[in-house]
Amino acid sequence: MPSVPFPVITLLALLFFLSVALLPGKTRHRGTLCFLVACIVLISVSTLRWEYDSTLLRNAQSWLAMLLPPLAWHCFISMTEIGRLRHWVLLFLPGAISLCIRIIWPLSTDLILIVLFAGYGCSLLRIACQGERRLTLSRLGKLPQTIKMGIFAGCFLCISALTDLMIAFDFSINGGKLAPDMIVVVQILLLPLIGVAVISAGRTEAISSQDVRETSSRVCDADPAEDMSELYAGIEELVRKTQIYLDPDLTLSALARKTGVPARHLSAAVNAVMRCNVSQWINGFRIERAKELLLSTPLPVTDIMLESGFMTKSNFNREFQRVAGVSPTLFRRQAHDNSEMSSEIN
């Protein structure tokens, strides 16, 4: 019976995950799709390289591997308020330097890949751990998923760097006898993580760059040491007055400009007073609006979801359950039953 190389199985699994992410009815997460396609191309070249070793395939594999960490990093750093010049320098300069070094010193390929994967991976983990205070351009409704995807991508790159280090060590000691087994073990461990990440990311929307208009001329110079309750009260008053929470593309950066409060102070005030993050806080306002519409209008739940600032039914149902303790449909039914009961009693 003919055997199938494990990289081929990995490639088929990645193609399956890509098809799942592209199913009709699922919204596209641009960063996830780009990262997945890059992994498929890299695995394809790696598979050909293991089967048909040639200088061309070895060079192509090395070049593609050098492009993968910057691509993953770019998908998340674009959701931060990093300066454009610094963004492009950090995106292209390490890769350009790495390519030049490899051309001059081909034997440094393994070391270059280890440094690139570890460096960009640690950077992604640091960005994800800083959460909403760093990912200020991420849509608030999708911030938890964005953070999880950032942690996954960072771990993926760091694990890949560790794997490359182990393989390089094996080649120096044993001539690469254990390298194929190491690759199989790592891919077996990473494939389920990739699958879960891709499927969950398929429920999220691509990040939009549309910002809320700046309509507030008030500037807040509050110091974090000042009374957070007073600062929060002013923020909540303005949010309720403008109903900015109804904008599905709302980001922490746009919210900070609208209220005139720096993002880090706004986040600190919400965390201190409400004991939740800004995303959950904004969703609380949206759920209040949804409750009003469920009680006062005959609109379908899907229409109410959109009117309240949500974009996906899964996120709407999850947040409604978290705040109200029941689903939107059950909330409306219970309210209707209670109203009928009160009418009968009267």
Decide: helix, strand or coil at residue 227.
coil
Average pLDDT, the chain: 77
CATH of domain 6-201: 1.20.1070
Specify the pLDDT at position 288: 92
User: Model pTM?
Assistant: 0.70
Q: Does residue 23 carry a pLDDT above 50?
A: yes
Contact 228, 261 (CB under 8 A): no
Confidence of residue 22 (pLDDT cuts 50, 70, 90): low
pLDDT, tens only, 106-165: 888 888 889 999 999 999 899 888 887 888 888 777 777 778 778 888 888 888 888 888
DSSP bridge pairs for 139: 251
Tokens describing residue 122: 């640690």
Query: Is the confidence at residue 242, as pLDDT, over 80?
Result: yes
Task: Inform me whether the pLDDT recorded for 287 exceeds 50.
Answer: yes
| d(C-alpha 189, C-alpha 213), whole Å | 46
Q: Residue 277 burial by CB count (10 A; 0-12/13-18/19+): exposed, middle or buried?
A: buried
Give dist(CA 148, CA 253) in Å, integer: 20
3-state secondary structure (DSSP) of residue 17 = helix
Band the pLDDT of 38: cuts 50, 70, 90: confident
Distance CA 61, CA 148 (A): 28
Give the domain ranges of the chain. Answer: 6-201, 211-275, 276-346
Tell me the residue type at 63: W
**Which stretch of DSSP H or E encloses residue 95?**
helix 84-104
CB atoms within 10 A of CB 109: 21
3-class DSSP state of 65: helix
Q: How many CA atoms lie within 13 A of 57 on its CB side?
A: 12
For domain 276-346, say whether CATH 1.10.10 is its number.
Answer: yes
How far apart (Å, rounded) are the C-alpha atoms in residues 127 and 119? 12
Looking at per-residue confidence, does 169 or 215 come out higher?
169
Mean pLDDT over residues 265-274, rounded? Answer: 87
Which two tokens mark 62?
């090395």
137 closest CA partner among 246, 31, 253 = 253
Length of the chain: 346
DSSP state of 325: S
What are the tens digits of pLDDT across the range 252-269?
888 888 888 888 888 888
Per-residue tokens: 317: 């149902």
Helix/strand number for the chain, H first, E second: 14, 0
Sign of CA pseudo-dihedral 63, 68, 69, 73: positive
| Under 8 Å between Cβ of 153 and 77 | no
